[in-house]
């Protein structure tokens, strides 16, 4: 009822979950995978909040409205684990999460996902725009490696 995924949509998150690669992400970006949820380094970065993480369900659900309860719980648990890992690995001062639904809500990937941002004093996250393009693999993997050390 509240879906906007276009016909023939090729979901980049589903490609990753199936073991594939996309122009923006690779398997090395995945920092945690549980039975129902996966966490990966986002390819889109904000100027003072580098290496933020996306947490996604392991099955294709477009948005919060479609998400079954058990996936919602798994995503929340994964977000919490990632938040703790970010605090330790990045030595950030706090964490922000956000999640978008529908085009007017700024959703632009048609697979439910939660952003987990490292926060720093005066970082102006909500007043800034993402950097153009995508972070390189080498940039993302450095952050992924730091997080994996905290999670394992």
Q: What is the pLDDT of residue 46?
A: 96
Q: Whole-angstrom Cα distance, residue 149 to residue 152?
A: 6
Contact 54, 40 (CB under 8 A): yes
Q: Whole-angstrom Cα distance, residue 76 to residue 104?
A: 24
Q: Whole-angstrom Cα distance, residue 145 to residue 84?
A: 15
Q: What is the pLDDT of residue 144?
A: 98
The dihedral built from the CA positions of residue 96, 101, 107 and 113, taken in this order, carries a sign that is: positive
pTM: 0.96
Q: Domains along the chain?
A: 12-151 (3.30.428.10)
Q: Which residues contact 96 (CB under 8 A, 6 or more apart)?
A: 115, 116, 117, 119, 125
Tokens in use for 80? 């919490």
Give the bridge partners for 117, in sequence order.
96
Give the bridge partners for 119, in sequence order.
94
Q: What is the pLDDT of residue 152?
A: 74
Contact 49, 42 (CB under 8 A): no
Positions of the chain with pLDDT lower than 70, given as ranges:
none
**pLDDT more than 90, % of the chain:** 96
């Amino acid at each position: 009822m509240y879906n906007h995924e276009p016909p023939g949509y090729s979901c980049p998150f589903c490609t990753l979950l199936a073991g594939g690669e996309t122009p923006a992400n690779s398997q090395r970006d995945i920092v945690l995978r549980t039975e129902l949820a996966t966490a990966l380094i986002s390819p889109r970065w904000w100027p003072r909040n580098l290496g933020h993480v996306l947490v996604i369900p392991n099955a294709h659900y477009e948005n919060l409205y479609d998400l079954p309860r058990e996936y919602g719980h798994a995503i929340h648990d994964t977000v919490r684990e990632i938040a703790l890992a970010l605090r330790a690995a990045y030595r950030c001062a706090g964490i922000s999460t956000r999640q978008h639904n529908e085009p007017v809500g700024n959703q632009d990937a048609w697979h439910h996902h939660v952003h987990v941002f490292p926060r720093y004093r005066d970082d102006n996250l909500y007043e800034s725009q993402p950097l153009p393009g995508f972070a390189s693999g080498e940039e993302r993997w450095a952050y992924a490696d730091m997080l994996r050390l905290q999670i394992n």
